[in-house]
């Protein structure tokens, strides 16, 4: 890997110094570095490359930030077969598991082919209005259909492979990947799935009927969520970052993308260690 992209979260504390050191290290190791305009601006420099152009130019992208930054990059690399190395310069960091202290040690392993790479399931969501495709997006964590700012329940009909599942009344529903099982779905009472499990989680949000519980379903299905209520402000959101306002009878169709997101991580770190560290399991 000689062409390396760097995409950073501008608000991260001390990020300029990190980017300067990383760029110097990569250059000394014979790599060509590509930054998007926002990352270059942190160094008070200019770059001709907008963020969506970076995946087409590089063989690997180093993401400096939190999980939110990595999620946005995961949508950019869809279909590009470019692996991502997430470096935690932000908050909790389930996805950006490599710390700044481990960065150069991990890069040494990557360049020596002493690393492992995980393929993570990616969701593809399409929104149909009167049979016409009006919006689509990808999501590494989840697709959420939820009510607006008014404290009113919404009504949804949910189908899996055209088979009726439930008419759900509540605040909405979360369709989560195994990667997203530790995000919003977990807060709503959903289970944690290991990233290697080929499944999706359908998690109701504050259902009116308390027996509406999360359900794990195969990943190779087509899920349809139909908005039946007339309430304004209902949204479909993708990884909590991109949103689309829904109307009555809109259909949100969700399924696994044909491609998966590739995440690089150090072999010294395993998933259970990440869970223990991030969720503080076993602490007294």
The pLDDT of residue 284 is 67
In this predicted structure, the answer to whether residue 90 has a pLDDT above a threshold of 70 is no
Distance CA 127, CA 129 (A): 7
The pLDDT of residue 277 is 82
Which of 32-36, 144-148, 230-234 shows the lowest per-residue confidence on average (mean pLDDT)?
230-234
pLDDT averaged over every residue in the chain: 92
Q: What would the pLDDT profile of 104-128 be if each residue is shown by its tens digit? A: 999 999 999 888 889 999 999 999 9
Most distant CA pair in the chain, distance: 61
The pLDDT of residue 279 is 87
Find, among 109, 118, 66, the residue nearest to 239 by Cα: 66
Task: List, in sequence order, every beta strand (DSSP E) within 11-147.
Answer: 32-35, 60-65, 84-88, 98-99, 116-120, 123-129, 132-139, 142-146
Q: Which residues are the active-site residues?
A: 67
Q: What would the pLDDT profile of 199-256 be if each residue is shown by its tens digit? A: 999 999 999 988 899 999 999 999 999 999 987 789 999 999 999 999 999 999 999 9
Same fold, 3-120+260-279 and 123-256: no
Judge residue 166's burial from the number of C-beta atoms within 10 Å of its C-beta, 0-12 exposed, 13-18 middle, 19 or more buried.
middle
Domain coordinates of the chain in residue numbers?
Answer: 3-120+260-279, 123-256
Q: Given CATH 3.20.20.105, say whether it is the number of domain 3-120+260-279.
A: no
Top-confidence residue, 29 or 93: 29
Residues of the chain above pLDDT 70, percent: 98
Please tell me the CATH code under which domain 123-256 is placed: 2.60.200.30
Q: What would the pLDDT profile of 42-78 be if each residue is shown by its tens digit? A: 999 999 999 999 999 999 999 998 889 999 999 999 9
């Amino acid at each position: 890997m000689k062409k390396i992209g760097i995409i950073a979260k501008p608000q991260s504390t001390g990020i300029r110094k990190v980017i300067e050191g990383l760029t110097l290290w990569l250059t000394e190791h014979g790599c060509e570095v590509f930054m998007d305009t926002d990352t270059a601006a942190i160094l008070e420099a200019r770059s001709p490359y907008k963020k969506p152009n970076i995946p087409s130019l590089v063989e690997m992208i180093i993401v400096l930030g939190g999980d939110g930054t990595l999620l946005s990059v995961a949508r950019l690399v869809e279909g590009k077969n470019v692996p991502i190395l997430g470096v935690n310069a932000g908050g909790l960091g389930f996805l950006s598991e490599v710390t700044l202290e481990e960065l150069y040690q991990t890069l040494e392993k990557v360049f020596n082919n002493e690393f492992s790479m995980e393929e993570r399931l990616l969701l593809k969501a399409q929104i149909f209005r009167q049979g016409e495709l009006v919006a689509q997006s990808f999501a590494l964590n989840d697709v959420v259909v939820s009510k607006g700012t008014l404290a009113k329940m919404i009504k949804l009909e949910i189908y899996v492979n055209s088979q009726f599942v439930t008419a759900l009344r509540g605040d909405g529903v979360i369709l989560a990947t195994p990667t997203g099982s530790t995000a919003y779905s977990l807060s709503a009472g959903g289970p944690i799935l290991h990233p290697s499990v080929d499944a999706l989680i359908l998690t109701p949000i504050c259902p009116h009927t308390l027996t509406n519980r999360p359900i794990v379903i195969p990943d190779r299905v087509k899920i349809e969520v139909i908005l039946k209520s007339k309430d304004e402000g209902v949204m479909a959101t993708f990884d909590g970052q991109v949103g689309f306002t829904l109307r009555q009878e809109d259909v949100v169709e969700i399924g696994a993308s044909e491609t998966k997101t590739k995440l690089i991580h150090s072999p010294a770190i395993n998933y259970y260690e990440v869970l223990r560290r991030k969720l503080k399991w076993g602490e007294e």
